[in-house]
Amino acid sequence: MSFLIRVTGAWTQLLSDWLDREALAAPAIRGQLATYAPDDVLPIQDWHRLLAQACALRPELAAPGLAIGAGVQPRHVGVLGYLVLACANLGEAMLAYQRYERLFYGLSLVEVRAEGASMSLRWPPTQAAAIADETAIAALVTFLRRQLDRPAGPERVGFLHGADAAHARACEDFFGCPVDFGSSHTEVRFPKAYLGISMPQHEPGLRALLDRQAQALLEALPEPGDFDRAVQQVLLRQLPEGEVNIERVAAALHQSARTLQRRLERTGLSWQQLLDRTREQLARQYLEDRGLSLAEIALLLGYAEQSAFTRAFRRWTGRTPRAFRQRQRPG
């Protein structure tokens, strides 16, 4: 799995449209946005920077990312947006988004989870950017609200970042539900009953055509680079040995820790985020194997104590490893 996070060039129009609505000239920002065609790749750190520059022009707004995301249109998301519109119902739309999210971010991040009477979309921690996260979730919720025959607001939203009282109120007013700040994941939760809500623009023929187009685009995406694979291979070797750190990984790659840190930053991840994500991915795989005890999994992931693994896994997923294993394979 590649750790190179980016957004599609079409997403830049979302910010351009907001500048238009706010009657902001912003020639420097517009000049940078204009350099990206819809099919271009926009590095995530560049998107974060452009958003921050634009929002600085409206310092009086408590949560400007919400206003930017509220202007979303299908054209801002490319083929993925039109594919979602052509789905039969919200449940099918969620699965289509999960399948083709890599067209938007360059890799698959979202996890679709069913919990009791709720269904959630959640994204693991990446490089923190409050404005970008709020823009993306506001766009998602607005997109669904506009397309469904009856209102379908979320029942809960979660963000990684914190917020002051004014910011929190602005978010809760926008989403119309409780908003958790300082969460382990970015998350949007809906009542499971919403999955059957029909999409008003459903067209089976167009859905099949767009699905083929999206699949072709997906197959054309580049595979993870040599750097991504090399870092992962080193981590896989070093984690069971314990004491894994950026200095040891960098030495195995024949570079300095500072150079490795800079290369990771360009992909949108810090060292700790990379380590946590790799451990979480491996933990999920190991927990599928009933032949491995929890103590053995903890050692494979580089933890000296099972309790440390349990605390980390709960932070990543909201569940203990034992509960996760029982939920995946009852009995």
Are residues 142 and 169 located together in one domain of the fold?
yes
| 170 shares a domain with 318 | no
- Over residues 45-56, the pLDDT tens digits come to 789 889 999 999
Domain boundary among 197, 220, 243: 220
Where in the sequence is the domain holding 118, given as residue range(s)? 63-220
pLDDT at site 23: 96
| Same domain flag for 132 and 110 | yes
306-317 vs 271-288: helix crossing angle, rounded to 10: 100
Residue type at 237 in one-letter notation: R
Tell me if 111 is assigned to some domain: yes
pTM for this predicted structure? 0.68
Residues 230 and 268 in one domain: yes
Query: Could you tell me the two tokens for 57?
Result: 């022009």
Residues 176 and 237 in one domain: no
Query: Could you report the per-residue pLDDT of 265-315, keeping only the tens digit for each?
Result: 776 678 888 888 888 888 888 888 788 889 989 988 989 899 999 999 998
pLDDT digits (tens, 9 = 90+) for 151-168: 668 999 999 999 999 999
Cα angle vertex 124, ends 105, 156, to 5°? 105
Residue closest to 129 by CA, chosen among 247, 19, 323, 273: 273
Q: How many domains does the chain have?
A: 2
Same domain (yes/no): 167, 287: no
Q: What is the full DSSP assignment across 120-184?
A: EEEE---S--HHHHHHHHHHHHHHHHHHSSS----SEEEESS---HHHHHHHHHHHTS-EEES-S
CATH classification at residue 257: 1.10.10.60
Question: Do residues 87 and 148 lie in contact, with contact meaning Cβ atoms separated by under 8 Å?
Answer: no
Same domain? For 233 and 210 the reply is no
Residue 3 pLDDT: 41
Residue 46 lies in a domain: no
